[in-house]
Amino acid sequence: LAAVKPAEVLKGKLKLGGRAFAMKGLVVLQFTISLTLIISSILISRQLHLLQNKNHGITDEPVMLIDVPRDKTFHASVNKYKYDLLQLPFVKATSVVGFNSWPTQDMDIDVYEVRKKGEWSLKPFNNIEVDEGYFETLGLNFLMGREFTQDETNGTYQSVIVNKAFIDNLGWTDPLNEVIAYENGVESRVVGVFDNFHHKSLKTDFEPMLIFPENRFPEKLLVRMETENWIDH
């Protein structure tokens, strides 16, 4: 630009010679980079907005996930430990879950006998084992029925809670009058139905899930924290 003479520009006598092609190429490159950055910024902004505002079906308060030591002494006193945690001012709810029971890709899958359109058939389903505080800790929304009681978490599996995807899969209209049978002859009556929640990619469809009451062999401890000023405590 310093080499350009304004008088020649005004007279239309400016000639750039072989540099014109290079200059046009640089201008095109600059516009291409600018458009790419603008589009990328818009996409990133929309993705962040989706992640921040999408209803995942669980609480948006912080939940701490703690590995439980494989120690029979601790297992015997886990309920007291949960009670002690609840005395802390920044703890709202606690729960323990069994092996492979934190909803991830590693959930257990077993075959159950279920009734569909009046006929019994064997089907594989995801299943997890939790205690009575699980649903409050994660803030799951119940559609019908009730949560587990502490007396039910003794490993007898007399009751089971399913998600909405489960009853949709089987076409149940009155799920609280249904029974799910396991291969060992144990029958579990459905006592509650909770709404679906995302525990995998948002692009993944909701999968049927069975939740059984069991707290004798915990693997993870969940601690739901207060949203405001919980770090200050």
* Residue scoring higher pLDDT (10 or 54): 54
pLDDT of residue 200: 75
The predicted structure's pLDDT at residue 216: 82
Q: Rg of the chain over CA atoms, in angstroms?
A: 29
Stretch 35-47: mean pLDDT: 93
**Residue bearing the bigger pLDDT, 101 or 180:** 180
The partner residues of 230 in beta bridges, in order of sequence, read none
Sheet strands (E) in the chain: 63-67, 91-98, 108-116, 119-130, 142-145, 159-163, 179-182, 187-194, 209-213, 218-225
- State how far the Cα of 6 lies from the Cα of 68, in Å rounded to an integer: 78
- The DSSP line for 69-125 is P--HHHHHTHHHHHHHHHTSTTEEEEEEEETT-SSSTT-EEEEEEEEETTEEEEEEE
Neighbour count for residue 208 (Cβ, 10 Å): 20
| pLDDT value of residue 3 | 60
C-beta separation of 99 from 217 below 8 A: yes
Q: Please state, in angstroms and rounded to a whole number, the distance separating the CA atoms of residues 91 and 45.
A: 33
Best-predicted range by mean pLDDT (74-78, 117-121, 146-150, 216-220): 146-150
Q: What is the pLDDT of residue 33?
A: 94
Helix, coil or strand: residue 181: strand
Q: Return the closest-CA partner of residue 96 out of 62, 65, 57, 61.
A: 65
pLDDT digits (tens, 9 = 90+) for 90-137: 899 999 998 887 776 677 889 999 998 888 999 999 999 999 999 999
> Over 60: is that where the pLDDT of 138 sits?
yes
pLDDT at 201 over 60: yes
Percent of the chain with pLDDT over 90: 42
